[in-house]
């Protein structure tokens, strides 16, 4: 069964009605709190939200540890994604510079977009492409 069918199907309707009518004891959900929190980012969120609201209202401490762990995990995942993006960006820039150098592009103002330091602003004598310049400045054409 597709997950969106749970939220809109017979099971979803019955579950929503059972929660709304307090037919199920709330303590029954304690063991399922991590799965309920994960479901907030899925189609069944509409069914899960009332359960979590009732739990938060009646048993706030039951949610605390699981919610804290869930939020820290989300933050850690986001931080890891940013770090992986930065690492990949550096690898791509290095590969582009190597490809340009291999293609025979000279490090000149109009040919090299990797001129950093060789423009004379920072005093370095090399480009990010690895070529050295005797004057410390890229040659203008």
84-116 pLDDT, tens digit each: 999 999 888 888 888 877 776 555 444 444 444
Q: Give residues with Cβ within 8 angstroms of 17, minimum separation 6.
A: 23
Asked if 136 and 119 touch (Cβ cutoff 8 Å), the reply is no
Q: Rounded mean pLDDT of 67-95?
A: 90
Share above pLDDT 90 across residues of the chain, in percent, rounded to a whole number: 14
Alpha carbon of 91 to those of 37, 98, 103, 124, 130: distances in Å? 36, 10, 18, 22, 15
pTM: 0.51
């Amino acid at each position: 069964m597709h997950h969106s069918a749970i939220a809109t199907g017979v099971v979803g309707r019955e579950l929503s009605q059972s929660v709304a009518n307090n037919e199920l004891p709330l303590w029954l959900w304690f063991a399922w709190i991590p799965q309920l929190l994960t479901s907030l980012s899925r189609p069944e969120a509409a069914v899960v939200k009332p359960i979590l609201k009732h739990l938060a209202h009646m048993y706030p401490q039951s949610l605390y540890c699981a919610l804290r762990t869930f939020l820290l995990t989300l933050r850690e995942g986001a931080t890891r994604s940013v770090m992986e993006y930065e690492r990949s960006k550096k690898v791509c820039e290095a590969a582009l510079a190597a490809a340009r150098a291999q293609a025979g592009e000279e490090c000149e103002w109009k040919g090299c977009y990797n001129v950093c330091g060789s423009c004379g602003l920072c005093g370095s004598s090399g480009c990010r492409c690895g070529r050295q310049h005797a004057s410390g400045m890229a040659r203008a054409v």
